[in-house]
Amino acid sequence: MKFFVAIAVLAAAGCNAGRGEPITQAELVRRTQEILDAVTAGDRRPFERYIAEDALDHDEKGRSMDKKALLADITPPPPHWSGSLKLSHPDSRIIGDTAILSYDLEETESISGQAMQARYHTTDTWLRRGGKWQIVAEQSLRYYADPAVGRTDVTRYGEYAGTYELEPGKTREVSSLGESLFMQRIGKDKEFLFTEAGDVYFRKDVEGRILFRRDARGKVDALIDRRNNEDIVWRKIH
């Protein structure tokens, strides 16, 4: 019996050796941070090592790239630029020859002495093939962030105030109180409108913009709810 057990153990060990070692979340994080450090350095070597030849990459800009295109996108940083990408909040599922790592990215940049920040969420799918773990698919999304608040011009508020109609029975009211501007739909709470610039406003934590359109005479004639460069026009009725 001991003989057959020993044979089984040796056979399993030989099989595992052929497939390569299993991987842990800590190792996935280490490799991923190595890739991220290479992005800011313009170093393609970690991508050559950890990205599969048949990989699919979908980035936060909406681009779909294969490995060749991804490598071409890795270039040395421009002059007067520095930055970093730091992985945080990793979570993983590792089953057999498949490992999925999901994580946040904190990006910091300095461009000619001016600081910038951004946050992303990325999910990588790793496969073990031929004894090697490599990324075969990656998808990145950028977290939405409100723009900077611009200078408030309360003299415009009187021009904005009134009722705007999408269709009969669907209206929005725009009103103000002191230096605050509000928009409200029937049956809904008032929404505070923050100034971005000129006649362009935004709502906190809501992607898109609210624009007050002016006619040829300069009079406000519509409210535009712009989302992803698509406009919903609410006509001013009084």
SS3 for the chain is CHHHHHHHHHHHHHHHHHHCCCCCHHHHHHHHHHHHHHHHHCCCHHHHHHEEEEEEEECCCCCEECHHHHHHHCCCCCCCEEEEEEEEEEEEEEECCEEEEEEEEEEEEEECCEEEEEEEEEEEEEEEECCEEEEEEEEEEECCCCCCCCCCCHHHHHHHCEEEEEECCEEEEEEEECCEEEEEECCCCCEEEEEEECCEEECCCCCCEEEEEECCCCCEEEEEEEECCEEEEEEECC
Sorted by where each begins, the domain ranges of the chain are 19-142, 154-236
CA dihedral 207, 209, 210, 211 (to 10 degrees): -170
pLDDT higher than 70, residue 46: yes
pLDDT higher than 70, residue 10: no
In CATH terms, 154-236 corresponds, of 3.30.56.10, 3.90.245.10, 2.40.128.50, 3.90.120.10, to 2.40.128.50
Region 63-82: what's the mean pLDDT?
A: 94
pLDDT at site 20: 79
In CATH terms, 19-142 corresponds, of 3.10.450.50, 3.40.50.620, 3.40.30.10, 3.40.50.150, to 3.10.450.50
Region 207-230: what's the mean pLDDT?
A: 95
pLDDT at site 13: 41
pLDDT at site 186: 86
Whole-number average pLDDT of the chain: 91
Q: Convert the pLDDT of each residue in 90-144 to its tens digit.
A: 999 999 999 999 999 999 999 999 999 999 999 999 999 999 999 999 999 999 9
Provide, rounded to the nearest whole percent, the portion of the chain with pLDDT above 90: 87
pLDDT at site 18: 54
Q: Convert the pLDDT of each residue in 173-184 to its tens digit.
A: 999 999 999 999
pLDDT band at 7 (very low <50, low <70, confident <90, very high): very low
Cβ atoms < 10 Å from Cβ of 193: 21
Region 24-38: what's the mean pLDDT?
A: 98
pLDDT at site 11: 39
d(CA 119, CA 140): 10
Same fold, 19-142 and 154-236: no
Region 151-164: what's the mean pLDDT?
A: 96
Output the pTM of the full model. Answer: 0.79
